[in-house]
Amino acid sequence: MVALEVKVIDAGPAGRLNPVGPVGPVDPVGPVDPVGPVDPVDPVGPVGPVDPVGPVDPVDPVEPVEV
């Protein structure tokens, strides 16, 4: 069984998000009916060769991230 928690977010002026607060637990969802068989998929043709990829240049060091 999976418990879900829903949080409602209200967009305020200038698109800022204002949290509204937690919402109560959601009732469990009942069982889902079985799904019927799926039709077979046609075969896919062969794919041609792919050209080699050239070397990648080195990447410069990344600055530390301030938290």
- The pTM is what? 0.21
Burial class (CB in 10 A: 0-12, 13-18, 19+), 19: exposed
49 token code pair: 């060769």
Q: What percent of the chain has pLDDT over 70?
A: 73
The per-residue pLDDT of the chain, averaged, comes to 82
